Amino acid sequence: MTDVVYADTIVELLRQSTSVIVDAQGNERTCGQVLEAGQRLAADFAAAGLQRGDRIAVQMHNSPLYVDLLAAAAIGGFVVMSVNARFAPALADSIIERSGARLVIRSADDLPEVSADQRNFPDASADDRYAIFTTSGTTSAPKLVVHQQRSLAAHGADVAAAFGYNAESSVLVPLPLCGVFGFTVLWGALAGHAKVIMPTAFEAEEAGRLVAEHRVTSLHGSDDLFHRLLATDWDLSTINCSGYARFNSALDGIVERCEARGVPLSGLYGMSEVQALYAFRGASGLPMEQRWKAAGELVSPRAERRVVDDELQLQGPSLFEGYLADGGDEIDVELTAANFDGPWFKTGDLAVEDGPRSFEYITRIGDVMRLGGFLVAPAEVEGVIMQREEIDQAQVVAVGREQGARPVAFVILSPGADLDEQVVIDHCAASLARFKCPVRVVAIDAFPVTDGPNGVKIQRAKLRSMGEALLA
């Protein structure tokens, strides 16, 4: 077994890692080869006029070039502004403009048309700004989250140690590198010297083939990713460590379904500000019926959590530096400070402590419903509604009224089904307190969503607006 790489910088992590990175066609590259390519690119960027601290916006799917760009940024002291390849042009352009990026790369055609001589760069610093991620932006414009080389390298090592990555491990990374989820899995695998299999994007049949061909031992992703993977006939039984992000309440049975295929799946917790895989439900050896819950044990031994007035607060080595101010040269001090309580980052998430070093994520505080004087998680009501065979998916929001907030349910019907609103309301009344029962149940064709790097997220703010119109 090879020891985990504990490094202060991404450059040093790559130098020490014995991992190979394999694309979907089977082409292999060592971390040494990635560093060589990164050195050449960094020299080209410098020759084209880029200086340390300048932002390079990257909007592309996973590829060897993407990994080389990550190495180049670490070597040259540049900052990668990760932009989701699926963002609409207007949103992507807005983010790029706000970041102050001096170079935008969407393909190899966008690389500088120079071929610089090899040059020496100052040693990378742990304090170098290195990567910028966007928040989900479901209710407002995405915030730009700045991480230093220190936080990313440190968390990579903690992930490798917690998940037991070593030279015998094989980690599939189909998640896009534009998001913190894919980024964290990549650096964790490299810090553990694991083989990294990286397709351009997730496609279920291809992913299944890669699992079987490379005897993949670890895979992380969204509930939808695993749902689609289970629809294939590939042997998945080599996977012994998998965590998932719970985005779709209609897929709450995914843990049991994965277990039936030999895949031990457990809930995860993370966000752009503290990185993905911050907490993992499978770390404590919980029985299957409890592994579906989001969060779990803290992955880093140096991480901490507390709950203050029902809000989850976090600190630890994976924490971000701050939010980037528009223009990209400075941290927005006021915005950053507003999201901290001393050293504790205020997540905006509702959670409960359920162990000495664990917690359970409930919902976003902005999504929690205050009904009848009590805090109610939408998932509780949604779960009861989806017991009905005619209902495939459900989302419940609280709509403010003078006499108090009232729950309104939006549902997507099963194919060929009809909705009897009163029947559903009566069904809820048989299982829920009266104040939790929806006053309206409305069928719609699709939920409003925002597209993120790890999957789509439902825009509950738009659903609330629709609910207000219904009760007006």
Q: Where are the domains of the chain?
A: 10-363, 367-471
105 is written with which tokens? 């790369």
pLDDT at 452: 66
* CA separation for the pair 385, 437 (Å, rounded): 10
- Once rounded to an integer, what is the mean pLDDT over residues 67-85? 96
* CA separation for the pair 70, 77 (Å, rounded): 11
Checking if the pLDDT of 249 tops 90, the result is no
**Closest among 208, 198, 209 to 230, alpha carbons compared:** 208
Checking if the pLDDT of 371 tops 80, the result is yes
Burial (0-12, 13-18, 19+ Cβ within 10 Å), 27 = exposed
Q: What is the CATH number of domain 10-363?
A: 3.40.50.12780
Checking if the pLDDT of 362 tops 90, the result is no
Neighbours of 338 (CB within 10 A): 10
pLDDT at 99: 97
Report, in angstroms and rounded to the nearest whole number, the Rg of the chain calculated over CA atoms: 23
Which CATH fold would you assign to the domain 367-471?
GMP Synthetase; Chain A, domain 3 (3.30.300)
pLDDT at 16: 97
- Once rounded to an integer, what is the mean pLDDT over residues 68-75? 98
Q: What is the dihedral of CA 183, 186, 190, 195, to 10 degrees?
A: -170
Residue 62's pLDDT band (boundaries 50, 70, 90)? very high
3-state SS record for the chain: CCCCCCCCCHHHHHHHCCCEEECCCCCEEEHHHHHHHHHHHHHHHHHCCCCCCCEEEECCCCCHHHHHHHHHHHHHCCEEEECCCCCCHHHHHHHHHHHCCCEEECCHHHCCCCCCCCCCCCCCCCCCEEEEEECCCCCCCCCEEEEEHHHHHHHHHHHHHHCCCCCCCEEECCCCCCCHHHHHHHHHHHHCCCEEECCCCCCHHHHHHHHHHHCCCEEEEEHHHHHHHHCCCCCCCCCCEEEEECCCHHHCCHHHHHHHCCCCEEEEEEECCCEEEEEEHHHHCCCHHHCCCCEEEECCCCCEEEEECCEEEEECCCCCCEEECCCCCCECHHHHHHCEECCEEEEEEEEEEEECCEEEEEEECCCCEEECCEEECHHHHHHHHCCCCCEEEEEEEEECCCCCCEEEEEEEECCCCCCCHHHHHHHHHCCCCHHHCCCEEEECCCCCEEEECCEEEECHHHHHHHHHHHHC
438-447 pLDDT, tens digit each = 999 999 999 9
153-178 pLDDT, tens digit each = 999 999 999 999 999 999 999 999 99
Checking if the pLDDT of 139 tops 60, the result is no
Residue 140's pLDDT band (boundaries 50, 70, 90)? low
187 is written with which tokens? 């650096």
Checking if the pLDDT of 283 tops 70, the result is no
214-230 burial code (b ≥16 CB/10 A, e <16): bebbbbbbbbbbbbbbb
Checking if the pLDDT of 400 tops 70, the result is yes
327 is written with which tokens? 């223009």
Do 256 and 322 contact (CB within 8 A), yes or no? no
Checking if the pLDDT of 290 tops 90, the result is no
407 is written with which tokens? 């729950």
**Closest among 391, 399, 402, 400 to 443, alpha carbons compared:** 391
56 is written with which tokens? 């390079």
More confident of the two residues 207 and 376: 207
Read off the amino acid at residue 202.
F
